[in-house]
Amino acid sequence: MDPIALAQKLQALAQSGLTFSQDQFDIERYEQLRALAAQLMAEQFSADPLQVQSSFSQQQGYATPKIDSRALIVRDGKLLMVREMDDGGWCLPGGWVDVGDAPRQAAEREVLEETGLQVRATRLLGVWDRNQHGHPPHPFHIYKLIFLCEELGGELAISHESLDIGFFAADDLPPLSLTRIVPLQIETSLRIAREGSEPWCD
């Protein structure tokens, strides 16, 4: 098993165990398991194990994957993309699904916040397991949802969350923010949107 996936699994087991255990000896064992997961993850990222362990300890409750919701918006045959502040790469607009959001609402909200456009999510194009598609490593397990969206109004405007926004031809995309999106996800989502075929599902 990949060391990142192994560390994610160990962290999830420790988190869930700490949520439900009442025996002090079991709690100590799960805390040790979480520390081992943090050490393994820190080695993969060349990070401080204590910082990783602190990040892990902030996660509470039964451990489940996080959800990233993204929007595919096509105008005149070109894709709407945003340039991210943290790595300078480009991606489909989107972000974390907040508690209380339906996944499609999260995609619509993120588009408005990042680009100034009002959109409606009309179709789920795919559910992607981030661990399986060549993204750079991440401490937590993530599912990525991509929705086809139609424009309703608004005007393009750069927000505090992005460096730039624009529409790009699918065969002439700018350098991607690979932590958020990889070429296969864009290519497959476009094909599904055009053909009306079944959504991708890992």
Per-residue pLDDT of 106-165, as tens digits, reads: 999 999 999 999 999 999 999 999 999 989 888 889 999 999 999 999 999 988 878 999
Who wins on pLDDT, 137 or 81? 81
What's this model's pTM, rounded to 2 decimal places? 0.80
Compute the distance between CA of residue 146 and CA of residue 68 in angstroms, rounded to an integer: 9
CA angle, 110 then 100 then 71, to 5°:
25
pLDDT at 58 over 80: no
Give pLDDT tens digits for 172-202: 999 999 999 999 999 999 999 999 999 999 9
